[in-house]
């Protein structure tokens, strides 16, 4: 047996004007062939800086366990930061590299393909591009079984479900079971190719954009849904169950939360569980995501938290400019407020501005500079901010590319050429900033930072300004009908039936 595996993964925010290019993948994470096999093998590091073992390492482990003696064939692994849609050229190139690799392997015999994709990737001018990837992969591999895993913010479509033999999503939010879903993919693919598993698939699609409160898997109101899925798998009610709490800034009109269940040849059982999970989600629709503080409130709250600042830091999440949800990372709203009003708070913040990097790069540490930062990549969300400060240090880092740290009064401003994905303390410590010396640290992430900043963080404040990751910013997208909570929707079932109908 020979199983090929590949990853093409990016989460697209359809509202972001910053398109994603091949360079964004190749400068962030791009591995092929032997280098990929090493990265996912024992002692390797699959996603440098993020996960030692993620889906592909899990898959290789899973094949070893569920199909002893089978060979795993590394094709490619390409990952880019969340951002705007892929350019057509970027998508076509990645797709060709994938299909060329599969065709070359097919000549030597292929029994199955595992494709790790996000589920909410968008491409300029292409509807549902990941379904196309799945179809092309199957065709290039000669019609063999194809199993795929998704981030649980993916969107299921009828075509998507038809294009794969099985779809499995993360069962955690914040996500921390990447390797588990890879192992599950191996288990399913091994079962299918050995003839022991005949997947019966049932899925449901809800006209539900936002619900489930904070959507954390181990907290109410979503905890019961995730427990139900794991219990069903444990008890053998199904072989895999997934719930998608969709990425809301996706421009597929048939957008919404969804559930998918695979059983071994028992369609009725699959339908029952998919329906039950969908109904559980629908019952949680009125629990909306929290509302966030305005910058002035956030600064006042941070100022009041004197003791907490003494023993750690206040973390502000710039919720309107969340880079890990596809925002450009160049918003100046919070920076402006911090400069005008937060003078007593030592603050670390970040902004993406490739133009400013061009201006700053020739300067040496200590140089005084005057320039405008931010507000250029997405001029509809914020405007450039004039600053005067001193260059502290310059760096070249994987993913962030060229980085300049600027001291502007009480602010240490980390200006990046690449995506300003501020989720971990290392974003600041790698450029020489000591977290313990800050009063306030700004992140551009929704929830995982809570885990990473745990040693330092004494108070968390989510700040809302205006940007493409505002939850209600998604309301301006076009949907295939009324969408909760933007519109009144009494019953999810009619739309589900329409979306699933051939
Ligand atoms: Zn996600």
Q: How many helices (H) and strands (E) does the chain have?
A: 16, 17
Q: Determine the Cα–Cα distance for residues 9 and 77; give it in Å rounded to an integer.
A: 8
CA of 222 to the centre of ligand 1 (A): 15
Helix or strand run (H / E) with residue 230: helix 223-234
CA of 114 to the centre of ligand 1 (A): 19
CA of 118 to the centre of ligand 1 (A): 8
CA of 70 to the centre of ligand 1 (A): 31
- Owner of token pair 């969804």: 258
Q: Determine the Cα–Cα distance for residues 474 and 18; give it in Å rounded to an integer.
A: 17
Bridge-based pairing of strands 440-443 and 112-117 is unpaired
**Domain ranges across the chain:** 2-283, 295-472
CA atoms within 13 A on the CB side of 73: 21
CA of 325 to the centre of ligand 1 (A): 8
pLDDT of residue 113: 98
Q: Determine the Cα–Cα distance for residues 499 and 397; give it in Å rounded to an integer.
A: 44
Residues ≥6 apart with Cβ < 8 Å to 427? 350, 400, 414, 421
Q: Which two tokens stand for residue 415?
A: 């200006």
CA of 258 to the centre of ligand 1 (A): 14
pLDDT of residue 331: 98
pLDDT of residue 447: 86
CA of 448 to the centre of ligand 1 (A): 10
Q: Determine the Cα–Cα distance for residues 211 and 226; give it in Å rounded to an integer.
A: 15
- 2-283: CATH architecture: 3-Layer(aba) Sandwich (3.40)
Whether the ω angle into residue 174 lies within 30 degrees of 0, i.e. cis, is yes
Q: Which of 178, 46, 189, 174 is nearest to 114 (CA)?
A: 189
Q: What is the pLDDT of residues 143-193, one digit of tens each?
A: 999 999 999 999 999 999 999 999 999 999 999 999 999 999 999 999 999
CA of 281 to the centre of ligand 1 (A): 17
Burial of 104 (0-12, 13-18, 19+ CB in 10 A): middle
pLDDT of residue 277: 98
Query: What stretches in the chain show pLDDT beneath 50?
Result: none
pLDDT of residue 235: 98
pLDDT of residue 49: 80
CA of 362 to the centre of ligand 1 (A): 38
Buried b (16+ CB within 10 A) or exposed e, 147-169: bbbbbbbbbbbbebbebbbbbbb
Please list the alpha-helical segments (H only) found in 107-199: 129-140, 158-163, 178-193
Q: Determine the Cα–Cα distance for residues 319 and 461; give it in Å rounded to an integer.
A: 10
CA of 152 to the centre of ligand 1 (A): 5
Q: What is the pLDDT of residues 326-355, one digit of tens each?
A: 999 999 999 999 999 988 999 999 999 999
CA of 299 to the centre of ligand 1 (A): 29
> Which DSSP string corresponds to 272-332?
HHHHHHHHHHHHTTTSPPPP-B-HHHHHHHHHH-HHHHHHSEEEEEETTS-GGGT--S---
Rg (CA), the chain: 23
């Amino acid at each position: 047996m020979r199983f090929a595996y590949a990853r093409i993964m990016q989460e697209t925010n359809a509202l972001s004007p910053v398109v994603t290019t091949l360079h964004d993948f190749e400068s962030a994470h791009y591995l092929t062939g032997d280098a990929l096999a090493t990265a996912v093998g024992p002692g390797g590091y699959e996603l440098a800086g993020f996960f030692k073992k993620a889906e592909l390492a899990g898959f290789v482990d899973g094949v070893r366990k569920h199909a002893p003696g089978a060979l795993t064939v590394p094709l490619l692994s390409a990952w880019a930061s969340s951002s705007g849609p892929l350019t057509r050229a970027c998508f076509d190139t990645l797709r060709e590299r994938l299909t060329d690799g599969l065709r070359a392997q097919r000549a030597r015999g292929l029994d199955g393909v595992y494709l790790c994709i996000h589920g909410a990737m968008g491409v300029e001018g292409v509807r549902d591009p990941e379904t196309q990837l799945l179809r092309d992969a199957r065709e290039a591999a000669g019609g063999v079984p194809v199993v795929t895993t998704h981030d649980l913010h993916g969107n299921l479509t009828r075509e998507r479900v038809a294009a794969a033999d099985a779809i499995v999503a993360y069962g955690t939010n914040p996500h921390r079971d990447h390797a588990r879903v890879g192992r599950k993919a191996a288990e399913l693919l091994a079962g299918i190719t050995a003839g022991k598993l005949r997947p019966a698939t049932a899925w449901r699609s809800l006209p539900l954009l936002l619900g489930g409160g904070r959507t954390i898997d181990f907290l109410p109101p979503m905890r019961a849904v995730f427990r139900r899925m794991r219990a069903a798998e444990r008890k053998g009610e199904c072989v895999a169950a997934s719930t998608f709490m969709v990425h809301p800034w996706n421009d597929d009109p048939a957008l919404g939360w969804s559930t998918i269940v695979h059983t071994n040849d028992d369609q009725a059982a699959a339908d029952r569980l998919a329906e039950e999970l969908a109904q559980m989600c629908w019952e949680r629709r009125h629990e909306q995501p929290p509302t966030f503080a305005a910058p002035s409130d956030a600064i006042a709250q941070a100022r009041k938290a004197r003791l907490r600042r003494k023993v750690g830091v206040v973390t502000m999440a710039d919720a309107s400019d969340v880079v890990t949800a596809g925002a450009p990372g160049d918003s100046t709203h919070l920076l402006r407020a911090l400069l005008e009003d937060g003078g007593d708070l030592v603050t670390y913040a970040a902004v993406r501005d490739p133009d400013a990097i061009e201006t700053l790069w020739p300067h040496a540490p200590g140089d005084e500079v005057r320039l405008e930062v931010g507000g250029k990549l997405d001029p509809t969300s914020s405007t450039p901010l004039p600053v005067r400060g001193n260059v502290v240090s310059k760096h070249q880092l994987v993913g962030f590319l060229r980085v300049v740290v600027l001291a502007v009064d009480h602010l240490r401003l980390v200006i990046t050429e690449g995506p300003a994905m501020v989720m971990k303390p290392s974003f600041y410590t790698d450029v020489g900033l000591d977290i313990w010396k800050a009063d306030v640290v700004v992140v551009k992430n929704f929830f995982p930072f809570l885990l990473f900043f745990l040693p330092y963080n004494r108070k968390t404040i989510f700040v809302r300004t205006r940007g493409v990751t505002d939850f209600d910013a998604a309301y301006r997208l076009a949907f295939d009908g009324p969408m909760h909570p933007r519109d009144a929707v009494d019953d999810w079932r009619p739309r589900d039936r329409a979306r699933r109908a051939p």
